[in-house]
Amino acid sequence: MIKGFARKYFEGKCCIYCGKYGLLRLKDGRLKCKNCYKYYSIKKLKTDIQILYYFYLEISGRKTAREMNLNYKTIQSRFMNFRKCIKNYSDNQARKLNGKLELDESYFGGKRKGNRGRGAFNKTIVFGILERKGKIYLKIVENVSKENLMKAIENKTKKGSVFYTDGFKSYNSLSQFGKHNIIKHSEDEFAKGHNHINGIEGFWSYAKERLHKYHGIKKNNYPLYLKEMEFRYNFRNENIFNLLFDICIRRSI
């Protein structure tokens, strides 16, 4: 079940701290590394890796708890810790996006009566910048005012980039940062050639489909869940389990 990268640690062949071979099994069940002289419990490590594997597969906390015969609150606590590790890693890896960039906002939250789309009441507003053939950056914003969006764009994009947006008025001064292409949804030319924002609209569907299965997320937890979606998308072409193992277990023990 466990991926090859982590199997050598799962089976107690390599030290979780230094990655070298040469482990001694102690009478109390712990392992001691002959290279870095550190101790740890192989039983706890195996449990941690199994929980991480379910998280990697996007299995719900409740199903993971049933499969592993563990308390749901324990699993949920570990899942949230994984998300915190992902956020810290993503923040440390952050860079300014450049090239062809698609910009858009979306509204996250449960079904509520009232307005939909821009102006939706009591929902989490997420601003996104998608680098075509690259990464996405997400930021929760208080509102979609020109000041909020321009500040986020200035902080996260390189000048001289090519920006694609819809005709929302808060983007009107975007040309100060680069070339601004406006897509008008009502016109026949929408989505022709390079003039579209299909990429980021596709990401919103990708994220909402995955978040919907949680059947309600506390508003103060949304930043962590969104960073997880950002992380999974940005590293979609890499071995995500190996990366999760490195940042959520090896670097956090």
Q: Give 39-88 pLDDT, tens digit per residue.
A: 888 888 889 999 999 999 999 999 999 999 999 999 999 999 999 999 99
Query: Based on the domain organization, do 109 and 36 belong to the same domain?
Result: no
Q: How confident is the model at residue 212 (pLDDT cuts 50, 70, 90)?
A: confident
Q: Taking the model in full, what pTM does it have?
A: 0.85
Co-location of 131 and 170 in the same domain: yes
Is 95 a member of any domain? no
Supply angle C-alpha 182, 164, 167, rounded to 5.
35
pLDDT at 5: 62
pLDDT band at 191 (very low <50, low <70, confident <90, very high): low
For residues 5-23, b (16+ Cβ closer than 10 Å) or e, as one string? ebeebbeeebbbeeeeeeb
Q: Are residues 72 and 11 in the same domain?
A: yes
176 and 242 both lie in a single domain: no
| Closest to 223 (Cα-Cα) out of 149, 159, 138 | 138
Q: Are residues 118 and 57 in the same domain?
A: no
- Coil, strand or helix at 228: helix
Lowest mean pLDDT across 93-107, 140-154, 176-190: 176-190
Of residues 116 and 143, more confidently modeled: 143
* Range of the structural domain that residue 130 is part of: 100-216
Please tell me the total count of domains within the chain: 2
Calpha distance 123→110 (Å, rounded): 8
User: Does residue 126 share a domain with residue 202?
Assistant: yes
For residues 109 and 185, state if they share a domain. Answer: yes
